[in-house]
Structure formats: C-alpha cells, structure tokens
Amino acid sequence: MPKAVGYVRVSTDKQLDNTSIEKQIEEIEKYCEREGLTLVQIYNEGAKSAENIRYRSVFKQMYADVLDKESNIDYVIVFKADRISRDNLESLYIFKRLTQAKKHLICLADNIDTRDPKAKLLYQIMSLVSELERDMIKLRTTSGMERRATEGKHNGGKVFGYTTKNKELKVVPEEAKVVKFIFKKYAIDQWGYRKIASHLNVLGKTTKNNKHWSITAVKTILTNRIYIGDIKWRNEYRKGKHSAIIDMELWEQTQKMLKVNSHIQEKVHPGNYPLSGLIKCPECGAPMVQGNSSPKYKYYQCSKNKNSGKKACSSNLVKKEYAEHYVYEQVFYSLKSINIVEPLLKMLHSFAMSEIEPLEEKIKAYQLELRQLKEKRKELISWKLKDIITEVILKEEMHDIQIQENLTLKHIDNLQQQIRLRDKTHLSSIIKNSFQDFKTFFDLIDDEDKKALLRSLIKEIHVNKGEKTKDRTIKEIIYAFDLDYLSQVI
C-alpha cells in the first residue's frame, strides 16, 4: 500500500478562515482510508504564521523526511494549499520539488492532486522558475562546480592514468606518462594550465573520454590524490591499494604552486566580461569568454580555443564593445513591453526562503565536525605526552585529521558560497530599478551585478559565422524564459 504523511497547521492570521487541527486531521484520515493509503504520520505544526516556511520547524522536518530517499513516502496530504505557504510561488516551488522526487501532493479543500494532468499548467509556470534558478546557481561557482562534478565522475571508476580491473586500479603506462608530464610541467617548468592542455592536444593526446584536454581537465589531474596512491571513500581520502604515479615530493610542490596561483588568479581576474558564457561560439557552440586581448582591442573568444588551443576550435573573436552594446539595447527593448519585475521578485524571494535554511543547517553540522576534530587533536597530544601512543602514530593521526579538516573547510566554503548566491536581496533591487531606466542603471552597477542580472534574463546568445571579426555579429538572443508566454501569464 502506498504511504502518506499529513501536515496540519492553523494560521495565526485571524482574517483567514481557520479549520481546526482536529478537523484537518479527520479529513486527512478519511481521505487515506478512502484511497487506500497507509497514513504513516501526521506532522502537526500547531499555530504558526503562514508568512514563510523558514520559521516552521515541523514543516521543514516533514519536507526533509519526505524527500529522504529511504522514507518511501509517496503522498503528502494537506487540508488546503495555503497550509503549506501563503506565497503561491513558494507553494509551487515545493510542489515542483515533490514531483521531481516522484511524490504526490494532495490538497483536499482545493482539489489539487498532482497526479492530475491538469496540474501541468502549474508546472509550466514552475519551469520558468527552475530555469531562473539554474542560472542563478551557475553564477560565479561555475568553475568550482565543474571541478566537483569531474571529481564525482572519478567515483564512477574512470580515472585517467588507470584502468579498473575487478574494482582495482591498474596503471596504464601510456597514460601515466601524460599524468607525470602534467605534474612536471606545472610544478617544475611552471607552465600554465592552458599551455599544458594545448601542448597535449597538439601531441594528439586525449582524455579518458576521448576529448581534448582543457584547463579544467588539467586542473582535475593536478588535484587528484589518486595519483599519490590515495582513494576517495565517503568523501574522505585514505590509502588505496593501487600504485602511485606521482611521488610525494612532486605532489607537495604541485599543491604549493596551485595555492600560490589561485591567489594570483583571484587578484588578476578582471571580471568585466559580463557576457562570458552567454555568447556561444558560432563554430563549436562552446561558451565564449574573455579573450587574450590587448587593452585597446577587447574580444570574446571561444573557450575551447582558449582552453585547449587551435586544434579544438578557432578563436572566433567577437568584439566586446559591439556585443555588449547590442545585447543591452535588445534586452531593454524586449523587457520594456511586459512588466516582469513583480514575478521575478517573487521567484527570487521564494528560492531564498526554501533553499538557504537547509544550507545553513549543513554548515552547522560541519562546524561541529571541526570542533570535534580539534578535540581529537588535543586528545592525541595528551596521549603522546602520557606515552600511550608513539611519535609515528601521532604524526599519522595528525596528518589524517589535517586532511579531514581541510575537506570540511572546503565543504563549508562551498556551502557559504551557495548561500551568497541565493541571497538575492541585492539582486532584487537591481531588477526593480533596472526596468525603470535600464541604460543608465546598467552603466552604474558593478560587473558582478551585471553578470548576475544578465544571467537571470538571458539563456544564450548566438553569433553569425564569419571569416572576419566584423562579420561575426549577433544573430539571436535567447531569453531564460519565454517572453510571449510570460506576458500571457502575468
């Protein structure tokens, strides 16, 4: 029998009609009986404001329980949709989340049943929201996420330099040579990622997936502890059974270099190419990014060309000044016709609410972990002082703690970054003002905000093919949502 949970709440807002908790429970029980559902639990919030779910701990618990893969809950039943949230978009957002997880939501009094195909219209609206959300999350962290994703892939088994036989990693000599080449060029000859990738591509070497080498691919190799014989297990590294390809000395030298270079990069990065990533290369479709240009001539350049060299794609330069001027004019013109401000603000608001809180909880958990590691460290020292453990064991254990600590810090950093991305209070005011006087406004805001705004509006920008730079003009701007559709909905 399918499993269901109920959620009940009375509003503190006296203006609303308020069905008693008892009545709500009764209705939910009746429904389950009629439909043949096992009612596992009823979550009772008591009297709480509908304002937002942030302050409703029982709701959050229910939401987490239902989305938990092991819970096997199929249905969430509430008496009325406004029990979930008075903010329509916030409710819709939750609907969408539940459907994605293949859970059904039933709102008894409003006749909402997400098994019903008619509910589809709701989801169409929600898809606008999710597109916007995706763009938001992509901001700034793109490189970090890409790296994590590639790391994740390695868990699946494919690691450059090795082949997997009976779940054991065996060195592939030809690939191991490439790995060594990458480390040596980077740490000893101080080559940049791009130069290394380009060089490998010229030599005809490809990655495990038969792709051209890229900046990210090179970076991933340089930070993978598998090459010193470690293995990733439950997000931690421990000694593996396989042979190392890189010795400790070269590894440490590399990590030092990476640290130094990351500081330099942060400072140098000018970030004044607001259309980076949005413009697509007319030849290969890859995102175009800041070109290696002189102060006088500035261009967007195919990222494949920039990362992997001539073999991957041509530079296909597009004039920066032209592209930006053109796009701003077009965006301004298109948006003037519809009032998009209010729905956008609502969407932003609802994301922030439902997403930030769980992230904050996770950070708290990691912080606790850090404190525990600190305690462990103290304990080890006291054991050493009392001669309970040897110097060697102390060192080994301390090393392990250090690794765990670094990893935890990295997690916290990632989460904090995600929270910053979701905190769109400043973005809201940008959007509001931007539609009054787009041009003046756009000149005033800083580059990061320009990027954020553009990414919430534009999905991609296509460019005409052309031999000469001046032929590569903008062909089409594809918005992050269907403007016609949106104007009908509003």
Candidate residues 129, 217, 281, 430; the one interacting with Zn ion per rule CB under 5 A: 281
10 near Zn ion, rule: CB under 5 A: no
| Residue 212 sits in the site that holds Zn ion (CB under 5 A) | no
Q: Could you tell me how many residues of this chain bind Zn ion (CB under 5 A)?
A: 7
Residue tagged 């790995």 (tokens): 179
217 or 286: CB nearest Zn ion = 286
- Distance (Å, rounded) from C-alpha 24 to C-alpha 154? 49
Catalytic residue among 11, 276, 308, 456: 11
Spatial neighbors of 354 by CB under 8 A, at least 6 apart, are 53, 90, 93, 94, 97
Q: Which is nearer to Zn ion, 304 or 455 (CB)?
A: 304
User: Quick one: which of 51, 283, 449, 460 contacts Zn ion (CB under 5 A)?
Assistant: 283
Q: Mask of contacts with Zn ion, 54-93, x by CB under 5 A?
A: ----------------------------------------
Query: Given CA atoms 181, 184, 189, 192 in this order, what sign does their dihedral have?
Result: positive
244 part of the interface to Zn ion, by CB under 5 A: no
State the minimum distance, in angstroms, from the CB of residue 286 to Zn ion. 5
Residue pair 301/310 in contact (Cβ under 8 Å)? The answer is no
Q: Say whether 390 sits in a helix, a strand or coil.
A: coil
Closest residue by Cα to residue 102 from 132, 138, 131, 66: 66
Q: Is 126 in the site for Zn ion (CB under 5 A)?
A: no
Stretch that binds Zn ion, among 125-133, 190-198, 263-271, 310-318 (CB under 5 A): 310-318
Taking CB under 5 A as the criterion, the residue among 313, 331, 348, 431 binding Zn ion is: 313
Q: Is 94 in the site for Zn ion (CB under 5 A)?
A: no
The identity of residue 305, as a single letter, is N
* CA nearest to 300, candidates 326, 280, 284, 329: 280
Interaction between residue 318 and Zn ion (CB under 5 A): no
Q: How would you class 371 by CB atoms within 10 Å of its CB: exposed for 0-12, middle for 13-18, buried for 19 or more?
A: exposed
Among 302, 317, 457, 477, binds Zn ion (CB under 5 A): 302
* CA 490 – CA 89 distance, rounded (Å): 13
Dist. CA 107–CA 104, nearest whole Å = 10
Query: Which range touches Zn ion (CB under 5 A), out of 275-283, 404-412, 448-456, 481-489?
Result: 275-283
Q: Does 460 bind Zn ion (CB under 5 A)?
A: no
Residue 240, classed as helix, strand or coil, is coil
**Annotated catalytic residue 276:** no
- Which residues participate in catalysis according to the annotation? 11
Which residues of the shown chain bind Zn ion in the complex (CB under 5 A)?
281, 283-284, 286, 302, 304, 313
